[in-house]
Amino acid sequence: MRIKTIGRPTHVSLKIVKKAAYFYGKYLIGGGKLFNNIRLTIQFEKVNSEDGDYAYCDWTDDNNNCREFQIGIDRSLSKKEALLALAHEMVHLKQYAKGEMKDIWRPVRMVKWQGERYLHEEMDYWECPWEIEAYGREKGLYFKFLTYMQYGEPESLCRRSKHIKIMSPSKTTSPNPTTTTSNTTEKQD
CB-based contact 93:40 (threshold 8 Å)? yes
pLDDT tens across 59-74, in order? 999 777 889 999 999 9
What's the order of all strands across the beta sheet hosting 55-59?
A: 2-6, 39-45, 68-74, 55-59
Domains of the chain with bracketed CATH: 2-158 (3.40.390), 163-189 (no CATH)
Confidence band, pLDDT 50/70/90 cuts, at residue 47: confident
Mean pLDDT across 75-98? 97
Tell me, what's the pLDDT at 131?
A: 96
Between vectors from CA 80 to CA 26 and to CA 1, what angle results, nearest 5°? 20
- Which helix H or strand E contains 83, and what residues bound it? helix 79-97
Tell me the pLDDT of the chain averaged across its residues. 83
CB-based contact 128:95 (threshold 8 Å)? no
pLDDT tens across 8-35, in order? 999 999 999 999 999 999 999 998 999 9
